[in-house]
Structure 1
Amino acid sequence: MPDIVTLIRRKRDGEELSGAEIDWVIRAFTHDVISDAQMAALAMAVWFRGMSRAETARWTAAMIDSGRRLDFSGIGLRTVDKHSTGGVGDKITLPLAPLVAACGAAVPQLSGRGLGYTGGTLDKLEAIPGWRADLDTAEVARILSDPAVGAVVCAASADLAPADRKLYALRDVTGSVESIPLIASSIMSKKIAEGTGALVLDVKVGSGAFVTELGEARELARTMVELGTDEGLPTTALITRMDTPLGRTAGNALEVRESIEVLAGGGPDDVVELTLALAREMLAAVGIDDDPADRLRDGSAMDRWRAMIAAQGGDPDAPLPVATHTETLYAEEDGVVAELDALAVGKAAWRLGAGRERQGQPVQAGAGVELHAVRGERVRAGQPLLTVHTDTPGRIPDALAGLRAGIRISDTAPEPRPLVVERIAP
């Protein structure tokens, strides 16, 4: 039997752990054979020393094997999923899942709730009256195989990569979250275990993303693509910009409303652009030749949205929650919005109640930030720049102060920047 103290020392000194040693570590940690303190020390050693491709692949496989794997091969449709590393206003899953389903694929989207300013897909959808995130495997399979639906967005069950759930909670409180091998294995262990047939990754980079530097985003994307490939899961990644918020809303019900606009054939250009780019990547991954833009135009994506929401207990016609208090920030001068910092908007939405500080904390469905002008648009003095929404008006001054610091109006227009930076494939 391996000795955990010896393994910690070896990793601390930059040595490579064997596959058998990694299997033992993950199994022993899952079953409380080694302590949280010892696992935290090993995670910190990994943070400093990294892991080889072989180590990272074995670490990921061991976390997958700590629980069960789902299998949707019997539903009769090709399955494909998308995972985003998270960003401000990142509502893309909401229009994307029904859109891809309307093109003929099945989309089993296991998502999470937000922690911090980026928000979570489940928090957004839970703003819809009656909608529920917790489904068992049989319900997921039934909805996916329903020819009128074909898409599910739900919470992952506790027995899906339980080692990752336990390890992430430990990393979160011991300062070892920002490790590429540990981030990649955390994401990919859950995505591989969920049983999808192909995976597309949206790796955000910029001030409002988990990763702020392009080189680090490339490394993360390549590591995850390699992990999927090594496990036999066709995986590609798009690196996309997150210096300014996606769309014109950051919040929960606010983002649902904007997603519905996209499904109705409208919505902000950047949200439509990224939704279509990811949809095309997902369809190519499973060999479906269809133009998702046509499915937005002909209304079939909206039909799938309504069916998907209803299949999970929601009322697609119910009014969305509205915050009880709003306040608008106005431009003080003529010019062009040269900077609209995603981090500032995300933190403001969080301060207003759209996000949470700790797991389990409730969020306000109607809270958030609505943008009336975005980067590159010309404004006049006195024109509305943004409106904040909250049920707790005492939070408004701090939110507005942070937003003022994140907006810069200039005489000259900023340089245009591509939303999709690059594609990473095996």
Structure 2
Amino acid sequence: MSSPVAVSDQLSGLAGSGVGSAAVLERYDQVLMKTFGTPKRVFVRGEGCYVWDAEGRRYLDLLSGLAVNALGHAHPTVLSAITGQIATLGHVSNFFATPAQVALADRLVAMAAGHRPGRVFFTNSGTEANEAAFKITRLTGRTKIIACEGAFHGRSMGALAITHSAKYREPFEPLPGEVTFVPYGDADALAAAVDGETAAVVVEPIQGENGVVVPPAGYLTRARELTAAHGALLWIDEVQTGVGRTGDWLVHRAEGVDADIVTLAKGLGNGFPIGACVAAGAAAELLGPGSHGSTFGGNPVAAIAGLAVLAVIERDGLLAHATAMGEHLVDAVGRLGHPLVAGVRGRGLLRGIVLTEPIAGAVSDAALDAGFVINAPRPDVLRLAPPLIVTATQLDGFVAALPGLLDTAREGEH
């Protein structure tokens, strides 16, 4: 019999065995590709809405791993579901089916397709879900895609082709075409671009990476009307906004809009990698045997994690809670009356605090030093996407600290 493997031995000399952040960051710089720059902290533990670094300092996590940890860290129901499933059956490949996979697909079809028949392709991330959606659009026989300025749909070649930022796109061009970008939220510009050659319009109901930008009322409805009129697909990317983040399961469904393709990920697995491309109606039949695949997508552990997340959101009334806490945050920040705050935009617990000066990066750094995890997607926007379980007391602690963070950042910039 072989001797047991001690996983802790492989952490020797790194955080987790009593050594602080410096050792981890030194090795990180030597063995990790430099795609993310230098990490700002080394986190070793999480519970609820809090994380701890290698030195034992606690932080209120108001970013949820970029809107991923919808139920916070180490949620007992998700942990129980994952450990129970992996102890029973962890992976079998997509040559075979598992009950968890089918049950989660049922839930997502009901959520995204509404009254129409639908099908799901499971992935490991939002980028991969968008890759599957991109391939679906090609099977319409058309190649023209309308995307939006400010859009972010991922970093793989297909997802990057419909992502607007030049700094992400240009080093990797030529990218898959034919993609036309129109101003986000401009229904007239969209109407001018969509025609009989259009395969799909792809749109985020709220642009998270662009600074939590919300389109005008009726924009998604108009996009549905235009695509239907020209026989094109409406593809809605709810990777960041879906699964309760905004106080509804899906933003577009809450607005009464039917999409042909919906992409999901992030909060669906509460940290366990999972994504989904849900197609409805005729679009659901376009991918056939051999036309796409994934080794890990939809494995039973990921699927059971998704089922657990949905069950907890329902059981604990977290859709209503996300709405209430989002409104509480907006009101509390507004009451500060701080001259550096122009306002708060967003929906539910996806919020952008808009600043009057481009100091968001410095504010984010000051917040981290003070024990709060947020980020700055734009120079003048702070993004908050806390776990859906966040309390008013926790949010109030951040709001109370915010004036000092703003003042510190402005003084540092000047």
TM-score by length of 2: 0.28
TM-score by length of structure 1 reads 0.28
